[in-house]
């Protein structure tokens, strides 16, 4: 089988996508690539601290590497650092990669364009699947995940730190995607069929942070976005 590395976010969609790639048995998925905010020592976007991330990766049992990003990288900085990481993997024989994206066309086009220039083929095992069916499948397969980040424009603080379960789905507002595909929330997956063992952790404080909106020059958008983050620490 061809070697494949997977772009790992530490969340539920990545976990379910990895599960399907392993189940299909067309590729040898044996490496996870994780983007990390090196100044905060956290997983990019999710806010998960590195210590918990490493524990998760060890529980999955695959080889991994990180892309160490500055706090707010420019597009050029991001592309350069990511290209360096991919070139390193190419030198180890990788020509295919997987993602957990579901239906954001512009994001898929961006990934494919960037990686095509590096002669890497992209694969999206969850692409165009119904997100309500996906999250139900995630739960039914025995995966477990906790919400570690919520966009305060879409969800209130009470959703931060909650388990992904049927009650969570029932409580979501109708305008929020069940998988949070528009960035409404992000998760940390800590148990399931891709894991060799579960992870024990405890919840810490919930922290509110604001960031400049990437399209803040658009008069129809707010200049800042707010997010609630759930701190997790190992027991």
Q: Domains in the chain: how many in total?
A: 2
CA distance 230 to 149: 6
Q: Are residues 104 and 51 in the same domain?
A: yes
Give the residue from 128, 185, 139 showing the smallest Cα distance to 164: 139
Specify if 17 maps to a domain.
yes
CA distance 10 to 100: 11
Residue 157, phi then psi, degrees to nearest 5: -60, -25
Structural domain span for residue 159: 143-234
Distance (Å) of CA 178 to CA 50, 104, 109, 161: 27, 14, 23, 16
Q: Are residues 118 and 158 in the same domain?
A: no
Give the residue from 155, 153, 160 showing the smallest Cα distance to 226: 153
Specify if 131 maps to a domain.
no
pLDDT tens for the 235 residues of the chain, in order = 899 999 999 999 999 999 999 999 999 999 999 999 999 999 998 999 999 999 999 999 999 999 999 988 999 999 999 999 999 999 999 999 999 999 999 999 999 999 999 999 999 999 999 999 999 999 999 999 999 999 999 999 999 999 999 999 999 999 999 999 999 999 999 999 999 998 999 999 999 999 877 654 445 455 688 999 999 999 8
Give the residue from 99, 97, 95, 94 showing the smallest Cα distance to 17: 99
Helix (H, G, I), strand (E, B) or coil at 153: coil
Q: How far is CA 137 from the centre of its chain?
A: 18
Vertex 156: Cα angle to 231 and 152 (nearest 5): 80
**Among candidate residues 92, 123, 154, the one where a domain is terminated:** 123
Specify if 61 maps to a domain.
yes
CATH number at residue 116: 3.40.50.620
């Amino acid at each position: 089988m061809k070697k494949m590395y997977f772009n790992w976010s530490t969340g539920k969609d990545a976990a379910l996508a990895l599960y399907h790639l392993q189940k299909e048995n067309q590729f040898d998925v044996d490496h996870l690539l994780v983007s990390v905010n090196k100044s905060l020592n956290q997983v990019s976007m999710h806010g998960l601290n590195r210590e918990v991330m490493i524990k998760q990766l060890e529980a999955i049992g695959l080889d991994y590497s990180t892309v160490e990003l500055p706090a707010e990288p420019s597009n050029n900085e991001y592309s350069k650092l990511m290209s360096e990481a991919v070139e390193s993997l190419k030198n180890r024989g990788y020509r295919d990669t997987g993602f957990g994206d579901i239906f954001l066309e512009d994001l898929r086009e961006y990934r494919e364009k960037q990686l095509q220039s590096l002669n890497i083929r992209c694969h999206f095992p969850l692409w165009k699947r119904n997100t309500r069916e996906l999250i139900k499948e995630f739960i039914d397969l025995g995966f477990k995940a906790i919400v570690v980040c919520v966009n305060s424009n879409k969800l209130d603080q009470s959703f931060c730190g909650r388990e992904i379960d049927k009650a969570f789905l029932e409580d979501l507002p109708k305008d929020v995607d069940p998988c949070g595909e528009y960035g409404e929330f992000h998760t940390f997956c800590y148990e399931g069929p891709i894991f060799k063992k579960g992870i024990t952790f405890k919840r810490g404080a919930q922290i509110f942070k604001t960031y400049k909106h990437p399209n803040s020059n658009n008069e129809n958008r707010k200049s800042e976005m707010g997010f609630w983050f759930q701190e997790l620490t190992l027991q």
